[in-house]
């Protein structure tokens, strides 16, 4: 049984005041939802504030990135041990914005995935194809390459304690969502790919969909058999909208 996960990626947004307001809207509200896990991933500077505001509620805390090394002379970077010490349980790795804008390669993403697990964090591995890649029928090749780059580095066993988010780049922040059928096709292919290494791990692996998910389209997406929740960007910045998405994933 896979418990759906709805994760909010706040990206580089917020102020202490807006974070307080957003958390006031969320804290306590998710506790009544059954059969869904809720996660928020604020910017590094808000992690401590969010951790305090989460208090005893069921909301989980995550970060948006980490560095491959555990500590040392890496000015400006944040390590896995720091995130774990700050109360994070999850961390996104390989978000398409980091791959495209910060030059993160499959190799770096795989090292970040391994670093996260080494320090007790659950990695949420993000992968997805660009519009050009979809239009040239390369979707499955790209998804397989991105997924297998991590599997070859850490082994399929590592996916016992990980989440994968399929996020077509053309759907992120564009308002254009993959249809439930388009998303399901990729999710099923990813699960089949994992199943070639371990049927049990593949069956238990949570596969999230991300890309312009909102309250209006969440239920239909989450009703697909291989979609186990969502990674939500823009819509996670509004408490009511995010809660409605969490509601759509709950049982």
212 near ligand PEP (CB under 6 A): yes
Question: Tokens 């960007």 label which residue?
Answer: 233
x-or-dash string of contact with ligand PEP, 7-36, rule CB under 6 A: --x---------------------------
214 to 4, 40, 43, 243: CA distances (angstroms): 16, 16, 21, 10
Of the candidates 171, 181, 247, the residue with the CA atom closest to the CA atom of residue 213: 171
State yes or no: is 119 an active-site residue. Answer: no
Residues 37, 104, 133, 167: which is the catalytic one? Answer: 167
Counting residues that bind ligand PEP (by CB under 6 A) gives 13
211 near ligand PEP (CB under 6 A): yes
172 near ligand PEP (CB under 6 A): yes
233 near ligand PEP (CB under 6 A): yes
Q: How far is the CB of 140 from ligand PEP (least distance, A)?
A: 20
Instruction: Give one DSSP letter per residue of 137-194, joined into a string.
Output: T-HHHHHHHHHHHHHHHH-GGGGGG-EEEE--GGGTTTS-PPPHHHHHHHHHHHHHHH
88 to 47, 122, 141, 232: CA distances (angstroms): 8, 9, 33, 18
User: Other CB atoms closer than 10 Å to residue 110's CB: what's the count?
Assistant: 22
Q: How far is the CB of 216 from ligand PEP (least distance, A)?
A: 13
Q: Which is nearer to ligand PEP, 9 or 30 (CB)?
A: 9
Q: How far is the CB of 92 from ligand PEP (least distance, A)?
A: 8
What does the alpha-carbon distance between residue 107 and residue 35 come to, in Å, rounded to a whole number? 35
State yes or no: is 95 an active-site residue. Answer: yes
Residue positions annotated with a catalytic role:
95, 167
Which residue ranges make up the site for ligand PEP (CB under 6 A)? 9, 167, 172-173, 210-213, 231-235
């Amino acid at each position: 049984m896979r418990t759906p996960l709805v994760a909010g990626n706040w990206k580089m947004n917020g102020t202490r005041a807006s974070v307080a307001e957003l958390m006031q809207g969320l804290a306590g509200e998710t506790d009544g939802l059954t059969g869904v896990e809720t996660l928020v991933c604020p910017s590094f500077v808000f992690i401590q504030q969010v951790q305090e505001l989460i208090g005893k509620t069921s909301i989980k805390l995550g970060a948006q990135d980490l560095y491959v090394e555990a500590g040392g002379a890496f000015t400006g970077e944040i390590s896995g041990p720091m995130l774990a010490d700050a109360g994070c349980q999850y961390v996104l790795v390989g978000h398409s914005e980091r791959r495209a804008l910060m030059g993160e390669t499959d190799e770096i993403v795989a090292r970040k995935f391994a670093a996260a697990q080494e320090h007790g964090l659950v990695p949420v591995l993000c992968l997805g194809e660009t519009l050009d890649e979809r239009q040239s029928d390369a979707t499955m090749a790209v998804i397989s390459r991105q997924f297998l780059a991590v599997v070859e580095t850490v082994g399929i066993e590592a996916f016992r304690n990980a989440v994968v988010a399929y996020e077509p780049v053309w759907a992120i922040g564009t308002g254009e969502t993959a249809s439930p059928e388009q998303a399901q096709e990729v999710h099923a292919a990813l699960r089949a790919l994992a199943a070639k290494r371990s049927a049990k791990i593949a069956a238990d692996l949570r596969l999230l969909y991300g890309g312009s998910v909102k309250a209006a389209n969440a239920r239909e997406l989450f009703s697909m058999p291989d979609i186990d929740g969502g990674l939500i960007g823009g819509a996670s910045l509004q408490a009511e909208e995010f809660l409605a998405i969490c509601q759509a994933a709950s049982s």
